[in-house]
Amino acid sequence: MNVQNKNSPQQNTASIESLQKISIGNQNAFKALFHQWQPRIYRYIWLRVRNVQIAEDLVQEVFFRLWQKRQHLPQSSNFTAFIFQIAHNLVVDWTRKNKVRSQAMATLGAKNEISPAANDQIEASELNRAVTAAISNLPPAMQNAFVLHRMENLTYKQIAEVMNISVKTVEKHISKALQRLRDIFRKQDFL
């Protein structure tokens, strides 16, 4: 499944223009930027912490920090990498402070009940759970690179900037993640 890259030059250009307005305190530009980026940042963070409340809190913190750094934003030539770097750092900090990853996963499992709908819906739900579980069992760096590439459509170069690693290391993480996921799904008869 190859998804078109959401990070078009127009999107980054629009973001840089918004950043210039934000840097002088334009709250309407900040609100527009928030509405544009909040869903992607939320999805990225939620996939890391697996808790709705924590994800919402961390998303708010991302945008709070963005507002705090508003006077320095126009110098950011790659807004996508910049905002995901903030999100990544917050998730790493949260993980270090709160060693409750397994508890968050248990909470997620208790809240996600499969509805008694048609077989197709049940199978789709099971597949979604299997994919989510498989991704969450990848080593953290591999998981991070995979999520940023496959779910947030960042380029290898952008991922390298966010994670402070080389592009080759990003390639290795994604390649190994894909191989592990294929192995898991073959064992579970999904492939």
Answer whether 131's CB lies under 8 Å from 139's CB. no
Q: Tell me, rounded to whole angstroms, the distance of Cα 82 from its chain centroid.
A: 13
Question: CATH for 1-112?
Answer: 1.10.1740.10
Least reliable range by pLDDT among 6-10, 69-73, 172-176? 6-10
Which position has the token pair 């968050």?
104
pLDDT digits (tens, 9 = 90+) for 107-132: 455 444 444 444 455 555 666 777 77
Contact criterion met (CB below 8 Å) for 153 and 3: yes
Domain chopping of the chain, boundaries: 1-112, 115-191
pTM value? 0.59
Q: Which fold has domain 115-191?
A: Arc Repressor Mutant, subunit A (1.10.10)
Q: Is the dihedral of CA 176, 178, 182, 185 positive or negative?
A: positive
Asked if residue 165 has pLDDT above 90, the reply is: yes
